[in-house]
Amino acid sequence: GMWSYGDPYPAPQITQIPPPAWLDYPVYSQTVAMAVQSGTYLETAAHMDQSRLPIDQLPLSRCHRIDAVALWIPRGANEPISAADLERALTNAGFMLRPGDALLVGTGWDSQWYAPNYVTDPPYFLADAIDWVLDHEVALLGGDTPRYDSPHHPQNFFPKFFQSEILLLAPLVNMAQVGTARGKLTALPLKIKDACASPVRALWIED
């Protein structure tokens, strides 16, 4: 039931381990095989440059109870998000976006998690939207789309995006349940040595 980016990224597989013969009673366990960009994941610039900070060295201060702003910009398949959309949504939210904040953008695309076009046709960010994000010096950009850039209308912003220290969190779910546009974000990765990303359980905390 978990999506995959497709070849060369393997589809997640969970396999039952047979009960060991050296025990007098049965016990059960599983093996899990998947790419580090699976489910909802947190990613560093090491995705594009292996000399950059790997996920296992990410300080706790960058992923636990960080100040965050959540914006709601409804979008359907292959629909873009522009800088003007972000500015308008931020104005409507009534909060300032401060340097070092996390910015989360909800479109409602998580409702298509099991759809065949979930990965191939999601909403995406225009290049000017990413410029807007970088100009605001956010520490993390999260969204409920599995692909920030469009496979059909490539914006090619990722080399510029990852020149900064910004983190990427995607794809989020349940953003429609956010009650207030300012809160705290926790997204704790596994300490997978030298990996560029890790699956996380992302939590939105409202005071």
Q: What is the pLDDT along the chain (207 residues), one digit of tens a residue?
A: 689 999 999 999 999 999 999 999 999 999 999 999 999 999 999 999 999 999 999 999 999 999 999 999 999 999 999 999 999 999 999 999 999 999 999 999 999 999 999 999 999 999 999 999 999 999 999 999 999 999 999 999 999 999 999 999 999 999 999 999 999 999 999 999 999 999 999 999 998
How many CB atoms within 10 Å of residue 102? 24
E-strand spans in 73-207?
A: 80-81, 102-106, 124-125, 140-143, 167-170, 182-189, 197-205
CB of 65 closer than 8 Å to CB of 184: yes
The answer to whether residue 12 is domain-embedded is no
The answer to whether residue 187 is domain-embedded is yes
The secondary element (H helix, E strand) that includes residue 16 is strand 13-17
Structure tokens at 144: 């409920």
The answer to whether residue 7 is domain-embedded is no
The answer to whether residue 56 is domain-embedded is yes
The CATH number assigned to the domain holding 145 equals 3.50.30.50
The answer to whether residue 5 is domain-embedded is no
Domain of 111 in residue numbering reads as 36-205
The answer to whether residue 4 is domain-embedded is no
How many domains does the chain fold into?
A: 1
The answer to whether residue 31 is domain-embedded is no
Question: Residue 106: which of 183, 177, 5 has the closest Cα?
Answer: 177
Peptide bond into 8 cis (omega under 30): yes
This prediction's pTM = 0.96
3-state secondary structure of 162: coil
pLDDT in the model for residue 207: 83
The answer to whether residue 14 is domain-embedded is no
Question: Residue 43: which of 67, 24, 63, 17 has the closest Cα?
Answer: 63
